A = this chain, B = another copy of it.
Amino acid sequence: MKKPSLKDIAKITGVSPTTVSRVLNGKAKAYRISLQTNELVVQTASEIGYIPNQTARGLRLKKSHTIGLILPNITNPFFSRIACAIENAARSSGFSIILTDSQHDQNLEIESIRMLMSRNVDGLIVLPMGQDENHLILVVESGIPLVIADRYFPDLNCPQVISDNYQGAFNATEHLIDNNHKNIACIQGRQNTSVNNERLKGYKDAMEKHQLKVVSTFIVGDDFGTKNGYVSMKILQSNHPRPTAIFAFSNLIALGALKAMRENNMEFPHDISMVSFDNDQPLLEYLATPITTVAQQTDEIGQIAFKLLMTLVNNNEEKTDVFDKEPNIVILPTKIIKRESVTRPKSALSTTHIQ
């Protein structure tokens, strides 16, 4: 026995499919359908266990009540929190989300976009892995609502939500400086991404503000992942002079750095201080050395991204050409969470500043 359709209900009740449709969509009063008919339809619908076919509905209405979510890796708590917030907001609004994990792979990201468009999603929230925007521009041009989070593309004409990465990085660096550090290295994430650029700028500006020279060998790394944190830390340790403090551009970088420090038998934070971006690792508080982090408002990023998308989706119904309006950029403040990974440098010796 196959799934009952709206037509089946019509047959059983003896009314037309139209009426059934209207009743089931709560348009009974709008069409002044008799209470009797209404009852009858609702009744039989539930009796035979009718479940509306959203696919058919979507085809007809050209609205799927589905949005696509593309992010670099659901396993990263920073992303999973955002995903969770989006999913919750979406459900409350009657939307489902198709999740795709790009695995930090540009091609997968592009493929996912295509796939999602072919599935007629009503909109797209993407947390791009890099800073390429061609595929994103195509989305905007195609007219399907798009919201970007965790990256900023000045030329991309769509709403975007990001943290104030510059200020966060500036504060992080200054916090290190306030603790007397002069040889401060940073382990970057993926270069030329807006996130990385801003954090780098924040770092540099803080250094310069305090008359500390920005040393190129103290700027290492090229990826937001754990491995880069590990490798970069190893490199920093092989250099002379060594830094007395590290600013890690992500939680995963910090994790990798931790591993390298441990292998090198370094005492943390006595041998080296650290502050990291991202505060979403639940165990952060209970580390041997709880790490001072720059917290991003992940829940808010998710919620705002979804709201922005909804505005777009709804606008889209009214007029088709809203795409010349200014990009709607939301910048969320960060907050530095001080823990125990920052101390004053051990000795004057180790803090000799390179001139």
Among B52, B59, B101, B281, the residue within 8 A (CB) of A59 is B59
- Cβ contacts under 8 Å, A97 to chain B: 98-99
CA distance A282 to B78 in the complex (A): 13
Interface residues of A in 281-306 (CB under 8 A from B): 281-288
Q: Is chain A's binding surface mostly helix, strand, loop or mixed?
A: helix
A 83-105 binary contact with B (CB < 8 Å = 1; else 0):
11001100100001111110100
Interface residues of A in 1-59 (CB under 8 A from B): 3, 51-56, 58-59
| A77 interface hit (Cβ, 8 Å) | yes
Across the interface, do B101 and A99 meet the contact criterion of CB distance under 8 Å?
A: no
Among B75, B96, B100, B286, the residue within 8 A (CB) of A115 is B96
| A81 interface hit (Cβ, 8 Å) | yes
Count contacts on A: residues with CB < 8 A to the other chain.
Answer: 52
| A329 interface hit (Cβ, 8 Å) | no
Among B64, B75, B142, the residue within 8 A (CB) of A55 is B64
CA distance A285 to B120 in the complex (A): 44
| A197 interface hit (Cβ, 8 Å) | no
In order of increasing CB-CB distance, the 9 nearest A-B pairs are A99-B99, A283-B283, A288-B288, A55-B120, A54-B119, A80-B80, A54-B118, A51-B118, A55-B58
Residue of chain B at shortest CB distance from A320: B2
Across the interface, do A96 and B96 meet the contact criterion of CB distance under 8 Å?
A: no
Q: In angstroms, how far is the closest chain B Cβ from the Cβ of A264?
A: 14
- Cβ contacts under 8 Å, A91 to chain B: 100, 108
Q: List 26 A-B contacts (CB under 8 A).
A: A51-B114, A51-B118, A52-B118, A53-B120, A54-B119, A54-B120, A55-B55, A55-B58, A55-B64, A55-B120, A56-B59, A74-B84, A75-B80, A75-B81, A77-B80, A88-B103, A96-B116, A96-B119, A252-B282, A258-B285, A259-B285, A283-B283, A283-B284, A283-B287, A286-B288, A287-B287
Across the interface, do A66 and B98 meet the contact criterion of CB distance under 8 Å?
A: yes
- Cβ contacts under 8 Å, A118 to chain B: 51-54
- Cβ contacts under 8 Å, A81 to chain B: 75
CA distance A54 to B56 in the complex (A): 11
CA distance A143 to B51 in the complex (A): 14
| A131 interface hit (Cβ, 8 Å) | no
Among B52, B99, B283, B285, the residue within 8 A (CB) of A87 is B99
Q: In angstroms, how far is the closest chain B Cβ from the Cβ of A96?
A: 5
| A330 interface hit (Cβ, 8 Å) | no
